[in-house]
Chain A
Amino acid sequence: MPDRRLILCGLVLMSTVLQAAPHDHPEPVVLAPGYSALEFVPPQPGTYQLPPLGSAADGEVLDSSGQSRRLHDYLGDKITVLSFIFTRCNDVNGCPLATFVMKGVQQTVMAVPALKNNVRVVSFSFDPAYDTPEVLRSYGEHFRDPGFDWQFLTTAGDAELAAILDAYGQWVIKDYDSEGNFLGTMSHVLRVYLIDRDKRIRNIYSTSYLHADTLRSDIATLLQETGKP
C-alpha cells in the first residue's frame, strides 16, 4: 500500500505543498508521532548516555517584553529545551508539533514539583519581522502555564538571527514570489535541542523523533547526572 500520506505528514513546508504535490487531490495529513501515545516504552532515565554534541551558542535576543538579552541568559541554570519556530508556520507537523510537545513537557514538569525549578523551555522564532515580542507574548499566552518557565524569544533583525541559526545548524529557506516579496512561509528541518547546565547540547530531535515522553526521559537523565532533583 503506497504510503503517500505518511510522506505528506512530514512536510515542514507550507500548506501550498498539498496543492503542488503530485496527487489528484490533497490527501489527509497523518499526524507526527509526537501527537500520539508513544509506540514504545520510553527509556528508563539514567540507564543510558547522552553524550555532548558541542556547546550551545550564544547570541543577541529579545524577550517577549522587548528587552534585549543574551541567549545564554536562558541557558545553564536549568536544563533547557530550545525549539526553533515561527508563529505563522501552518504545517501541523512543523512548528505546531514543536509547540504541542513543549506543552507536553510543561505538563510533565508542572506535575512533578522537584522538576519545576530545574527545567525551562525556550521557543525561539526565526521570523523576527513578523514575530515581534508582542506577537510572541500573545502566542505564548495560548500555551504557557503562568507557573512554568517557558520563554518566547525573537531577535531584533535578520543579522542577529542568522548568527544564531548558523551556530545551531538550523537551516531555513524563505519563500519569495516572482516580485521578490517574502511570502511569509519558510522551509526548514524541524529541530529541537536539549541543553544541559553546562550549556552543552545533549540531544537533537526532529519531526519523527520528537515526543514529550522521550524528552522527559532525557531531561530526567540529565538531572540525575547533576543530582538534581
Chain B
Amino acid sequence: MMIPRLTRAAALSALALILFAPNALADETCMSPYMAKIVGQEDYIYIWTLGIEGVGDGEDKLVTVDVNPDSESYAQVVHSVSVGGRNEAHHSGLSDDRRYLWASGLDTSKIFIFDVHTDPGKPRLHKTIDDFVAKSGGIVGPHTNYALPGRMLLTGLSNNRDHGGRTGMVEYTNAGEYITTHWMPTDDNLQGAVKSGSYADGYGYDARALPRRNVLVTSSFTGWNNYMMNLGKMMADAEAMKRFGNTVVIWDLHTRKPKKILDVPGAPLEIRCAWGSRSNYCFTSTALTSKIWLIYEDDTGDWHAKAVADIGDASKIPLPVDISISADDNHLWVNTWNDGKVRLYDTTNPHAPTQVFEHQIGEQVNMVSQSWDGERVYFTSSLLANWDKTESTGGDLQYFKLYGWDGEKLSPRFHLDFIELGLGAPHQMRFGAYALYGLTPPARDAAAADAR
C-alpha cells in the first residue's frame, strides 16, 4: 500500500482542509455523514456528464474542472474520462474514504467506479459494474450512490418487470461486490412499515441517513418508462403523469427495515438533512407540486412530513430539482429547472422557511452544490436527456458555473459552456482535494493567483 509523504506545507494544508465528521451531514453540504469533509478550498469538481450525440465523442464522461484560484489551470477542464457510450449519466457519490467516485447510469443501469485518490487531477475508470439488474433481483436505474461505513448504498428508480416506479435499494461493498437488496414497501407488502397516509407506492429516488437517530430517509420519483420518455409527450399523457412517487419512507438505518411511510405527494426528490447535533429533520422538494417539505421527528420519536413553503408559482411548473442546505442549517438553496432560477430560503425556523433571494442562473438549471463555508456555489444545467431543453435562446443551455456568495448576492466567478467544449450535458458535481490523500498539489503560481 502506498503511504504518501507529506511536506510540512501539505501536512498543514491537509489539517486545515479536512475534517472527518461523525454525525453530520452538509456538497460538501450534502455528503454522507460517514465521510471526510473538505472545509477549506476544494481543488477540483468532478462532473458526471451525459453524452449528447454529435457533441464531442457523444459519450458519458467524468469531467474534472480545476476550481482552486491558486492553480495555474483554474477555471479550466483539466481532465475527462469517457466511459464508452451513453447510459443516462445522472448521479454520483464518493465512498466513505473518498478514494473512489461511483457514477451511475439510469438507462443502462451500469455503475462506473472512478479512482480519484491516486491522482485527484486525473481520475481513472477503476471498475464497471454491468450486472446491477441481475444481481439486485430486478432493480433498474441506480440513482443515489451513498456512502455507509465500508459500503455503498444505491437507490433504484425502477424495475425490470414493468419499468415502472416500484423499486428498491441495493448495497455494495466498497470494492464493488453486491451485498443485498431492500425493496421499497408497498401496499402489497408493507414489510412491517406503518402506512400513515394514502400511499405506499414503492417508488424510490434519494436516500440520506441520520445515524444518531438510527434513521434512513428515502424519497420517490418515477420509473424508467417516464424518465426515459420525451418530456412534452409525457406531460400530455395523463396516465403517465399519474405514475410519480408520492411518498417518503422512514427506515431503521441499522436493520434496513422500513418503519413508516409518509405521504409527500408530487414526486419528492433530493433529501438534505440538518447538521445540528439536536436537529432531527430533513428537507425535500416536490417536483410536481412545487413545495418544500419538512420531514421531522417529534418529541415522542415519531416522524412526520408537512409542506412548509411554496417554490415559485406552481401553476407555471417551475419544476424544483436540486436543493442544498448550508452547514449551519440556516439556509436552503432551491433550484427550479424549468425557469432556470435558484432561490434561497431562510430555514432558521425549519417549520416556516421564507424566501430571501432569487437569481436567474441559466435557461435551465438542475444541480446546486456549495462549499462547506457557503462562499462558493456551483451549478450545472442538465436534468435528463429526453427532458433537457434543446433549443437555446441565449447560448446558456448546458453549463457549469461558479458563483461567489457574500450573504447578499451571487457574483459570477466563471462558467464553462459544455456544448462549446464538446463535453455534453453536465449533471452531478462532487468535490476533490489533494489534501484528502496526503498529496501535494502541483506548484501554484502565486502571482497568477494574485492577478486573478
Task: Indicate if the CB atoms of B179 and A51 lie closer than 8 Å.
Answer: yes
Please, how many angstroms separate the alpha-carbon atoms of A82 and B49 in the complex?
Answer: 40
Residues of A within 8 A of B252 (CB): 43
Task: Indicate if the CB atoms of B213 and A169 lie closer than 8 Å.
Answer: no
A191 to B, closest residue via Cβ: B150
Residues of A within 8 A of B20 (CB): 10-13, 189, 207
Please, how many angstroms separate the alpha-carbon atoms of A53 and B413 in the complex?
Answer: 44
CB pairs A–B below 8 angstroms (24 shown): A2-B327, A3-B327, A3-B328, A8-B19, A13-B19, A17-B19, A20-B12, A30-B277, A32-B22, A33-B212, A48-B255, A48-B256, A54-B173, A54-B177, A93-B22, A165-B1, A166-B1, A169-B97, A169-B150, A169-B174, A180-B5, A187-B18, A208-B21, A208-B212
Residues of B within 8 A of A163 (CB): 1
Closest A-B pairs by Cβ, 7 of them: A204-B150, A10-B22, A48-B255, A208-B22, A178-B8, A207-B22, A173-B438
Closest approach, in angstroms, between the C-beta of A101 and any C-beta of chain B?
13
Residues of A within 8 A of B78 (CB): none
Cβ 8 A contact of B15, one of A6, A13, A47:
A13
Cβ 8 A contact of B3, one of A13, A173, A205, A207:
A173
Task: Indicate if the CB atoms of A2 and B328 lie closer than 8 Å.
Answer: yes
A41 to B, closest residue via Cβ: B214
Task: Indicate if the CB atoms of A204 and B3 lie closer than 8 Å.
Answer: no
Cβ 8 A contact of B24, one of A6, A51, A187:
A6
A97 to B, closest residue via Cβ: B22
Please, how many angstroms separate the alpha-carbon atoms of A10 and B19 in the complex?
Answer: 7
Residues of A within 8 A of B118 (CB): none
Task: Indicate if the CB atoms of B171 and A214 lie closer than 8 Å.
Answer: no
Instruction: Choose among A7, A54, A180 the residue with the greatest number of B CB atoms under 10 Å from its CB.
Output: A7
Q: Does B4 contact A (CB under 8 A)?
A: yes
The A-contacting residues of B in range 25-49, CB under 8 angstroms, are 33-34, 36-37, 39-40
Residues of A within 8 A of B11 (CB): 175-177, 183
Please, how many angstroms separate the alpha-carbon atoms of A105 and B329 in the complex?
Answer: 35
Closest approach, in angstroms, between the C-beta of B155 and any C-beta of chain A?
17
Cβ 8 A contact of B6, one of A5, A22, A175, A214:
A175
Q: Does B283 contact A (CB under 8 A)?
A: no
Q: Does B23 contact A (CB under 8 A)?
A: yes
B147 to A, closest residue via Cβ: A206
Interface of B is mostly: loop
Q: Does B241 contact A (CB under 8 A)?
A: no
Cβ 8 A contact of A176, one of B5, B179, B212, B254:
B5
Q: Does A220 contact B (CB under 8 A)?
A: no
Residues of A within 8 A of B212 (CB): 33, 39, 208
Residues of A within 8 A of B277 (CB): 3, 5-6, 30
Give chain A's interface residues, CB within 8 Å of chain B: 1-3, 5-14, 16-17, 20-22, 30, 32-33, 39-40, 42-43, 47-49, 51-54, 93, 158, 162-163, 165-166, 169, 171-178, 180, 183, 187, 189, 191, 193, 204-209, 214, 217
Residues of B within 8 A of A20 (CB): 12, 15-16
Closest approach, in angstroms, between the C-beta of A82 and any C-beta of chain B?
12
Cβ 8 A contact of B18, one of A1, A13, A180, A214:
A13
Please, how many angstroms separate the alpha-carbon atoms of A171 and B177 in the complex?
Answer: 19
Task: Indicate if the CB atoms of A7 and B39 lie closer than 8 Å.
Answer: yes
Q: Does B198 contact A (CB under 8 A)?
A: no
Q: Does B334 contact A (CB under 8 A)?
A: no
Please, how many angstroms separate the alpha-carbon atoms of A20 and B34 in the complex?
Answer: 22
The total of chain B residues at the interface (CB under 8 A) is: 56
Task: Indicate if the CB atoms of A53 and B19 lie closer than 8 Å.
Answer: no
Residues of A within 8 A of B97 (CB): 169, 171, 189
Residues of A within 8 A of B59 (CB): none
Q: Does B262 contact A (CB under 8 A)?
A: no
The A-contacting residues of B in range 199-213, CB under 8 angstroms, are 211-213
A5 to B, closest residue via Cβ: B277
Q: Contacts A189-B36, A214-B254 hold; do A177 and B8 have CB atoms under 8 A apart?
A: yes
Closest approach, in angstroms, between the C-beta of A191 and any C-beta of chain B?
6
Q: Does B441 contact A (CB under 8 A)?
A: no
Cβ 8 A contact of B151, one of A40, A162, A204:
A204
Return the CB mask of B234-277 against A: 1 if under 8 Å, else 0.
00000000000000000010111100000000000000000111
Please, how many angstroms separate the alpha-carbon atoms of A206 and B24 in the complex?
Answer: 13
Closest approach, in angstroms, between the C-beta of A194 and any C-beta of chain B?
11
Instruction: Choose among B37, B97, B175 the residue with the greatest number of A CB atoms under 10 Å from its CB.
Output: B97
Please, how many angstroms separate the alpha-carbon atoms of A171 and B3 in the complex?
Answer: 9
Residues of B within 8 A of A1 (CB): 276, 328-329
Residues of A within 8 A of B415 (CB): none
Q: Contacts A11-B19, A53-B179 hold; do A48 and B254 have CB atoms under 8 A apart?
A: yes
Please, how many angstroms separate the alpha-carbon atoms of A205 and B11 in the complex?
Answer: 27
Task: Indicate if the CB atoms of A176 and B6 lie closer than 8 Å.
Answer: yes
Residues of A within 8 A of B276 (CB): 1, 3, 6
Closest approach, in angstroms, between the C-beta of B300 and any C-beta of chain A?
13
B348 to A, closest residue via Cβ: A1
Residues of B within 8 A of A16 (CB): 15
A93 to B, closest residue via Cβ: B22
A94 to B, closest residue via Cβ: B20
Closest approach, in angstroms, between the C-beta of B305 and any C-beta of chain A?
20
A18 to B, closest residue via Cβ: B15
Closest approach, in angstroms, between the C-beta of B163 and any C-beta of chain A?
27
Task: Indicate if the CB atoms of A169 and B214 lie closer than 8 Å.
Answer: no
B5 to A, closest residue via Cβ: A176
Q: Contacts A173-B438, A187-B438 hold; do A54 and B149 have CB atoms under 8 A apart?
A: no
Residues of A within 8 A of B411 (CB): none
A51 to B, closest residue via Cβ: B180
Residues of B within 8 A of A43 (CB): 252, 254-255
Task: Indicate if the CB atoms of A49 and B211 lie closer than 8 Å.
Answer: no
Please, how many angstroms separate the alpha-carbon atoms of A13 and B37 in the complex?
Answer: 12
Residues of A within 8 A of B149 (CB): 191, 204-206, 209
Residues of B within 8 A of A3 (CB): 24, 275-277, 327-329
Task: Indicate if the CB atoms of B7 and A7 lie closer than 8 Å.
Answer: no
Residues of B within 8 A of A51 (CB): 171, 179-180
Residues of A within 8 A of B96 (CB): 189, 206
